[in-house]
């Protein structure tokens, strides 16, 4: 499903290293889409803060593209598989015999739910 959601961005990158970076962004967007909208906004701000720390010279135009990318990938995930709540914990692009393959490790999304215990 990651290919359907973000394959055009991944394949646009020229090197395997850049494709892996883009895949990581697609995975981040997938995981954001699994969250409730308010939590999604908070987590996105943390991702953007990390991006800015790694790219302190990013222009406003680059930041707008960053925002647009995440909005688009989240919307595609919600449209194509709204009930898939799995969390992606790892995704790698491997080149085997000249062909690229994506391997993905997930865990159930319900693991993120927290039970609130009260003291009596």
pLDDT tens-digit profile, the chain (120 residues): 899 999 999 999 999 999 999 999 999 999 999 999 999 999 999 999 999 999 999 999 999 999 999 999 999 999 999 999 999 999 999 999 999 999 999 998 765 554 434 444
Element (H, E) at 107: strand 99-107
Counted domains in the chain? 1
Q: Taking Cα atoms as reference points, which of 88, 82, 81 lies closest to residue 104?
A: 88
Q: Is residue 61 part of a domain?
A: yes
Quick one: angle between helices 2-12 and 60-80, nearest 10? Answer: 150
Structure tokens at 74: 């989240």
Q: Is residue 84 part of a domain?
A: yes
Structural domain of 52: 2-110
d(CA 74, CA 65) in angstroms, rounded, equals 14
d(CA 100, CA 107) in angstroms, rounded, equals 24
Q: Is residue 118 part of a domain?
A: no
Q: Is residue 86 part of a domain?
A: yes
């Amino acid at each position: 499903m990651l290919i359907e959601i973000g394959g055009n961005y991944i394949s646009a990158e020229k090197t395997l290293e850049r494709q892996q970076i883009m895949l990581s962004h697609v995975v981040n967007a997938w995981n954001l889409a699994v969250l409730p909208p308010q939590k999604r906004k908070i987590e996105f701000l943390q991702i953007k803060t990390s991006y800015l720390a790694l790219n302190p010279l990013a222009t406003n135009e680059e930041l707008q593209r960053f925002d647009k990318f995440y909005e688009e990938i989240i919307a595609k995930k919600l449209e194509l598989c709204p009930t898939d709540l799995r969390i992606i914990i790892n995704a790698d692009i491997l080149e085997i015999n000249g062909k690229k393959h994506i391997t993905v490790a997930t865990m159930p999304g319900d693991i993120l739910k927290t039970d609130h215990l009260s003291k009596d």
